Amino acid sequence: MLAVEGISRAFGGFQALSGVSLRVEPGEISAVIGPNGAGKSTLFNVITGHLVPDSGRVTFQGREITGLPPHTICRLGVARSFQRTNIFPRLTVFENVQTAVLSHERRAFGLWTPARNLGRARAMAVLEDVGLAHRAGEPSGSLSYGDQKQLELGITLALDPALLLLDEPTAGMSPQETRTSVALIERIARNRRLTVLFTEHDMSVVFSVARRIRVLHQGRILAEGTPDEIRRNDEVKRVYLGEGAIRRLRA
C-alpha cells in the first residue's frame, strides 16, 4: 500500500530523517513512535507532500508520489490529521466536512449550483460517524478541543481515503476523551477497512491499537515489530520506553 524507501531530510544542520524505510500493508493499523524530535512529524510531512525529502522515495499503491503537492497526494487517497487541530474555524461543523466532501467529489470549483445542499447526505453520515451530527450548525471554532479533534477526523474521513495518517490523534485529550476517540478510530477503520498509520505519545493507546509498531529514534528506524516484540526489545527499552518511564517518575 505505502512504501517509504531510504528517506532523508535535513533542516539546516539538523538531520531529521536519515534513511528511513518502511512498508505499510493494506488494512494494517500501525504506529510510529519515538521521543520528541525523533522525526515522526517530518516523516508524515514527507509522505503527504508537505515536505520534499532530500533523498529517497515514497510509493503509494505502486505509484511514486515523492515530491507531489499535498492536494494531489490527497486526491490519490492519502488523508491526514494534524497534531495541532487544523479545521476551518469560522465555518460551521457541517461546512467543514462538506468542504472536504465537495473537494473529494471534484466539485470544489463549481461556480453555479448553490452549495447549500450539495454532498449533504455524505457529510451528515460522516458527522454521524464521529458523533457530531447534533452540532452540525454550530461554528466549529466554538467546539471543545476534543470535539475539534473528532471534527478533524471527520474531515479526513469525508475524503474517503485508502490510507489515513493520524498525527497524535489523542494529544491533549482527557483520558475519557482518549478512550472514546480510540474506540471510534478502531470502529471506523474496521468498518471502512481503512489502512491507518498513526503517531502517538500515549503508550497504552499504541500498544492496544497498533498491530505493528515502528520505533523512530534520531531520524532512524530503531526497531519494527508486533507490540510484543517491541516490548521485549532491549534497545527500545533503553532509548525510549525506559526514558519515558524515567520521565514519568520525575514528573
Partner 1 sequence: MADRGRAAGWVLGAVLLALPLALPQFYVLLATEMLIMGLFAVGFNLLLGYGGMVSFGQAAFYGVGAYTCGLLLKKTGLPFPAAVLAAPLVAALFALVFGFFCIRLTRIYFSMLTLAFSQIVWATAHKWYALTGGDNGLIGVPIPVALSGPRAFYLFTAVVAAGATWGLWRAVNAPFGRTLLAIRENAERAEFVGIHVRRAQLTAFVLSGGVAGLAGALFALFTRGAFPEYAFWTKSAEVLLMTLLGGPHVFLGPALGAGLLILLNSVVTSFTEYWPVVLGAILLALIYLFPGGVTRLFVGRSAAPAGGEGG
No. of H helices and E strands in the chain?
A: 10, 10
DSSP codes joined into one string, 37-70 = TSSHHHHHHHHTTSS--SEEEEEETTEE-TT--H
Give the 3-state secondary structure of residue 248. Answer: helix
80 binds partner 1 (CB under 8 A): yes
* Cα angle value 214/220/223 (rounded, 5°): 35
Shortest CB 115 distance to partner 1, Å = 5
Q: Which span (33-41, 51-59, 100-108, 229-237) binds partner 1, by CB under 8 A?
A: 100-108
Shortest CB 145 distance to partner 1, Å = 16
Kindly identify the residues of this chain, within the stretch 146-185, that bind partner 1 according to CB under 8 A: 155, 158-159
Q: How far apart are CA 38 and CA 35, in angstroms?
A: 5
Shortest CB 164 distance to partner 1, Å = 12
Shortest CB 251 distance to partner 1, Å = 32
Shorter beta-carbon distance to partner 1: residue 90 or 134? 90
Of 5, 59, 61, 118, the residue at the interface with partner 1 (CB under 8 A) is: 118
79 binds partner 1 (CB under 8 A): yes
Of 5, 88, 124, 131, the residue at the interface with partner 1 (CB under 8 A) is: 88
**Residue whose C-alpha is closest to residue 116's, from 136, 144, 134, 90:** 136
134 binds partner 1 (CB under 8 A): no
Shorter beta-carbon distance to partner 1: residue 74 or 239? 74
CB atoms within 10 A of CB 232: 11
Strands (E), 94-189: 163-167
Of 108, 121, 183, 245, the residue at the interface with partner 1 (CB under 8 A) is: 108
* Cα angle value 130/166/123 (rounded, 5°): 30
Of 2, 43, 65, 87, the residue at the interface with partner 1 (CB under 8 A) is: 87
Kindly identify the residues of this chain, within the stretch 33-72, that bind partner 1 according to CB under 8 A: 48, 69-71
Taking the alpha carbons at both ends of the chain, their separation in whole angstroms is 40
Q: How far apart are CA 163 and CA 177, in angstroms?
A: 24
SS3 content of the chain, % helix, strand, coil (to 5): 40, 25, 35
113 binds partner 1 (CB under 8 A): yes
Shortest CB 90 distance to partner 1, Å = 5
Residues that bind partner 1 (CB under 8 A): 48, 69-71, 74-75, 79-80, 82, 86-92, 95, 98-100, 102-104, 107-116, 118, 139, 155, 158-159
